[in-house]
């Protein structure tokens, strides 16, 4: 519900967009570019080292005026201020949403419940810098006096995806030969693989968990602790080989991690927004405190841009509105994230959690069932791999899949002409998606008539292109912040609470109930539906058999 007391679909601005959609839905990008030859420049914005070209969208100037009107109508500016200034906008959990404070540069206080959160943030950041420098320099010693050679981050979701993605993205900035592993899955294979060839004397575990109760993380952490104790002879060794990143001090203590090795954060940092907090420690060890700070500066630049820039030149607002246009008017079901950089291989997975856990909601902030579409399915792969897998559907399938293409002017790993070839593909794909190939053009190529239909590309497939000079810590910070705020914009428009994740609970509760039932040594009293009962019985019958 908006300040006007109306649902979003009842707003005049929404209705105008619906009408405008009917008028524009069949207009082709080809025609739009013919009518407006300057589109490529007119529909582009440069900010925080990122260049956004959104001209290959099925929009006109009128579309943008109407979309921008919608942003005003839902009080986006005021709601943005609510977030930045610590109002408890996570209404279902009664929490503020202050991840932007984690990377704030200004000396101004950020008040939460009357207290400035900035000194606490700076204190933890300072300790992280000190700790990561000691580990990188070899000053931090394992139990037997050897420096750390392998860091294993144990966490899941927001306590894994960010640092795992960023460690890969910024590998060329590492300046250390410490090896990094990220263990998230409760499947024992994940931890076992990370420990293959590991020397317990030089391995450091970072247990990252906001709650310190997550089943996957605690199971992995306990197995890691046993592995360490078995090799190094007891609990004493844990002190030198375990660090915790958590808001739950009592639980960390219970686990046996030295309080000096605990880096805290706060319940106003959502898991999926937590990389700039203590959760980023493994990344800071990987790239060094200076690069980590650079990344924070990149985040901050985008935060300030989002907070202050006019909506018409505001990158997160533009991306958010364009997403609404396809999601709610063209009824697109998904949105592809296509980074043309191998270092960003995990970026789509990272954004999957950020976006789908935030906006995958069916009720509004006040608990009313929505009658409009909310968050899209986010997916993607790095270019050019996707081209040889799912781009067929993007080009010729029956579904409309808006996509963000992300590319860089310079490679982190220049090698012959690889980068130019990569980027030639990058530019070619958005051109092909937008403009396609007509049957006349196919015939002109001398294609036999029976194949013409198969070789036609209808085009009119919308894309955003995001370019930056290079993928570095600062660019990465800005890029992440761009998407965080894009998600925020969309959540405001849909009227959902983007900061809880209650949809993950039910499965967790049922898994706890099922766990003892999987023990074939215990009697099984079927208490589920016939499908689940049968499946559990099948598992019990087969889990002990030799392969």
List residues near ligand F6P by CB under 6 A: 156-159, 209-211, 214, 217, 271-272, 357, 501, 504
Q: State how far the Cα of 535 lies from the Cα of 547, in Å rounded to an integer.
A: 19
Q: State how far the Cα of 247 lies from the Cα of 95, in Å rounded to an integer.
A: 14
Given 388, 440, 454, 523, which residue is catalytic? 388
- Shortest Cβ contact with ligand F6P: which residue? 271
Number of H helices and number of E strands within the chain? 23, 13
Positive or negative: CA dihedral 435, 50, 273, 309? negative
Known active-site residue 395: no
Q: Do the Cβ atoms of 339 and 382 come closer than 8 Å?
A: yes
Residue 93 beta carbon to ligand F6P: minimum distance, rounded to whole angstroms: 11
Residue with tokens 């932007």: 100
Positive or negative: CA dihedral 95, 317, 45, 110? negative
Q: For residues 41 and 506, which CB has a smaller minimum distance to ligand F6P in the complex?
A: 506
Encoded tokens for 292: 């980590």
Given 19, 105, 399, 508, which residue is catalytic? 508
Q: For residues 157 and 348, which CB has a smaller minimum distance to ligand F6P in the complex?
A: 157
Q: For residues 340 and 499, which CB has a smaller minimum distance to ligand F6P in the complex?
A: 499
Encoded tokens for 503: 């949809």
Question: What are the angstrom distances between the C-alpha of 170 and each of 55, 138, 159, 164, 543?
Answer: 30, 21, 18, 10, 42
Q: For residues 157 and 339, which CB has a smaller minimum distance to ligand F6P in the complex?
A: 157
Q: State how far the Cα of 509 lies from the Cα of 349, in Å rounded to an integer.
A: 25
Residue 271 beta carbon to ligand F6P: minimum distance, rounded to whole angstroms: 3
Given 201, 216, 357, 381, which residue is catalytic? 357
Q: For residues 132 and 358, which CB has a smaller minimum distance to ligand F6P in the complex?
A: 358
Residue 212 beta carbon to ligand F6P: minimum distance, rounded to whole angstroms: 7
Residue 258 beta carbon to ligand F6P: minimum distance, rounded to whole angstroms: 20
Secondary structure of residue 237 in the 3-state scheme: helix
Known active-site residue 357: yes
How many CB atoms neighbour CB 424 within 10 A? Answer: 12
Positive or negative: CA dihedral 84, 367, 359, 434? negative
Q: State how far the Cα of 523 lies from the Cα of 525, in Å rounded to an integer.
A: 6
End-to-end CA distance of the chain: 57
Paired with 51 in beta bridges are 46, 467
Q: Do the Cβ atoms of 411 and 420 come closer than 8 Å?
A: no
Known active-site residue 388: yes
Residue 158 beta carbon to ligand F6P: minimum distance, rounded to whole angstroms: 3
Q: For residues 176 and 209, which CB has a smaller minimum distance to ligand F6P in the complex?
A: 209
Residue 5, Ramachandran bin (φ over 0: left; ψ between -120 and 50: alpha; else beta): left
Q: For residues 362 and 439, which CB has a smaller minimum distance to ligand F6P in the complex?
A: 362
Q: For residues 159 and 342, which CB has a smaller minimum distance to ligand F6P in the complex?
A: 159
Quick one: DSSP state of residue 470? -
Residue 283 beta carbon to ligand F6P: minimum distance, rounded to whole angstroms: 15
Secondary structure of residue 222 in the 3-state scheme: helix
Residue 287 beta carbon to ligand F6P: minimum distance, rounded to whole angstroms: 22
Q: Do the Cβ atoms of 486 and 323 come closer than 8 Å?
A: yes
Question: What are the angstrom distances between the C-alpha of 22 and each of 18, 37, 290?
Answer: 7, 24, 51
Catalytic residues, by residue number, are 357, 388, 508
């Amino acid at each position: 519900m908006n300040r006007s007391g109306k649902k979003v679909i009842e707003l005049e601005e929404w209705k105008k967009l619906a009408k405008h959609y009917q008028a524009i839905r069949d207009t082709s990008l080809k025609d739009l570019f013919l009518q407006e030859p300057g589109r490529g420049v007119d529909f582009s914005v440069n900010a925080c080292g990122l260049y956004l070209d959104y001209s290959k969208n099925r929009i006109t100037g009128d579309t943008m005026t109407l979309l921008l009107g919608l942003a005003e109508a839902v009080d986006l500016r005021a709601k943005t201020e609510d977030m930045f200034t610590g109002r408890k906008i996570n209404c279902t959990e009664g929490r503020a949403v202050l991840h932007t404070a984690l990377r704030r540069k200004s000396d101004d206080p950020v008040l939460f419940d009357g207290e400035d959160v900035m000194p606490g943030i700076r204190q933890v950041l300072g300790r992280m810098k000190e700790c990561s420098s000691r580990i990188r320099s070899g000053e931090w010693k394992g139990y037997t006096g050897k420096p750390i050679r392998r860091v294993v981050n144990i966490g899941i979701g927001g306590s894994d995806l960010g640092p795992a993605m960023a460690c890969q993205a910024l590998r060329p900035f590492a300046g250390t030969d410490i090896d990094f592993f990220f263990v998230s899955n409760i499947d024992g294979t994940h931890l076992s693989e990370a420990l293959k060839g590991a020397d317990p004397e030089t391995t450091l575990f970072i247990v990252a968990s906001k709650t310190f109760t997550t089943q996957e993380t605690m199971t992995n952490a306990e197995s890691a602790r046993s592995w360490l104790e078995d090799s190094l002879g007891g609990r004493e060794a844990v002190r030198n080989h375990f660090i915790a990143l958590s808001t739950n001090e009592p639980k960390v203590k219970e686990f046996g991690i030295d309080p000096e090795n605990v880096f805290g954060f706060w319940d106003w940092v959502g898991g999926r927004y937590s990389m700039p907090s203590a959760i980023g420690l493994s990344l800071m060890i990987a790239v060094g405190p200076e690069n980590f700070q650079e990344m924070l500066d990149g985040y901050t630049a985008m935060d300030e841009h989002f907070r202050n820039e006019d909506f018409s030149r505001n990158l997160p607002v533009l991306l958010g509105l364009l997403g609404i246009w396809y999601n709610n008017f063209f009824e697109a079901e998904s949105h592809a994230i296509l980074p043309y950089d191998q270092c960003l291989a995990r970026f789509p997975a990272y954004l999957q959690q950020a976006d789908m856990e935030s906006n995958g909601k069916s009720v509004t902030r006040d608990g009313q069932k929505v009658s409009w579409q909310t968050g899209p399915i986010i997916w993607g792969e790095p270019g050019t791999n996707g081209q040889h897998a799912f781009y067929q559907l993007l080009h010729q399938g029956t579904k409309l899949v808006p996509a963000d293409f992300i590319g860089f002017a310079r490679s982190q790993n220049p090698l012959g002409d690889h980068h130019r070839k990569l980027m030639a593909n990058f530019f070619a794909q958005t051109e092909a998606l937008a403009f396609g190939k007509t049957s006349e053009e196919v015939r002109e190529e001398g294609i036999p008539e029976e194949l013409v239909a198969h070789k036609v590309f209808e085009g009119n497939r919308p894309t955003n292109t995001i370019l930056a000079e290079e993928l570095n810590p600062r660019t990465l910070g800005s890029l992440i912040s761009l998407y965080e705020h894009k998600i925020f914009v969309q959540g405001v428009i849909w009227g959902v609470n983007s900061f809880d994740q209650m949809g993950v609970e039910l499965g967790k509760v049922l898994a706890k109930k099922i766990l003892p039932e999987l023990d074939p040594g215990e009697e099984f009293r079927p208490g589920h539906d016939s499908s689940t009962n049968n499946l559990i019985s099948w598992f019990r019958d087969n889990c002990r058999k030799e392969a």
